[in-house]
């Protein structure tokens, strides 16, 4: 299976990367970085939840990176909300690991590969499915480290002091 990411101008606040198949350009996978706006209001949360479930129901594979603490709308994290919406089954992360990284393989049966983490923990590589049996590992920690190194030094100091 060949898939390509089509580079388009990035809109302000865009937190989604869409992977399209090389023939026909149909969407095969999406990487979604949860933002504070996705959790900040009921409408934003419901919109995010609806889009995530719609993608999975349409057979689009999904990788969700949720680096923000749970809110009243998602007391067990964004994966728990997605999972309950899809299956009716609850999910509760382990104590002390409120953040979630979740890779979903779409299909007749959605399969979730979930890694609960805490602030400061190393992020594991996560599979991004391109087809039911084909995936690539997304190197989350290495990508974060590379981005951090290119961050302006004076701002790194401000954030590290906080």
The backbone torsions φ and ψ at residue 156, rounded to the nearest 5 degrees and listed phi first, read -60, -45
Distances in whole angstroms, Cα of residue 42 to Cα of each of 10, 127, 141: 25, 29, 30
Number of other residues whose CB lies within 10 A of the CB of residue 113: 15
pLDDT of 100 strictly over 70: yes
- Give the per-residue pLDDT at 162: 65
* pLDDT tens per residue across span 15-39: 678 888 888 788 999 999 999 999 9
Cα separation of 112 and 104, whole Å?
A: 4
pLDDT of residue 14: 53
The DSSP symbol for 146 reads H
Q: Is the pLDDT of residue 41 over 70?
A: yes
Bridge partner residues of 117 (DSSP): 99
d(Cα 162, Cα 106) in Å, to the nearest integer? 39
The interaxial angle of helices 78-87 and 42-57, nearest 10 deg, is 50
Token readout for 128 is: 């991004």
Q: What is the pLDDT of residues 90-99, one digit of tens each?
A: 999 999 999 9
């Amino acid at each position: 299976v060949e898939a390509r990411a089509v580079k388009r101008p990035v809109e302000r606040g865009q937190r989604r990367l869409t992977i399209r198949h090389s023939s026909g350009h149909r969407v095969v996978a999406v990487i979604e970085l949860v933002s504070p706006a996705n959790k900040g209001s009921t409408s934003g949360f419901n919109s995010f939840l609806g889009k995530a479930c719609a993608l999975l129901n349409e057979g689009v594979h999904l990788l969700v990176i949720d680096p923000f603490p749970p809110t009243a709308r998602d007391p067990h994290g964004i994966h728990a909300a997605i999972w309950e919406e899809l299956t009716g089954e609850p999910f509760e992360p382990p104590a002390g690991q409120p953040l979630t990284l979740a890779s979903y393989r779409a299909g007749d049966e959605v399969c979730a590969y979930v890694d609960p983490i805490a602030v400061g923990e190393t992020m594991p590589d996560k599979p991004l499915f391109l087809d039911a049996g084909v995936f690539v590992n997304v190197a989350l920690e290495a990508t974060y480290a590379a981005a951090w190194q290119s961050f302006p030094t004076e701002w790194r100091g401000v954030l590290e002091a906080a």
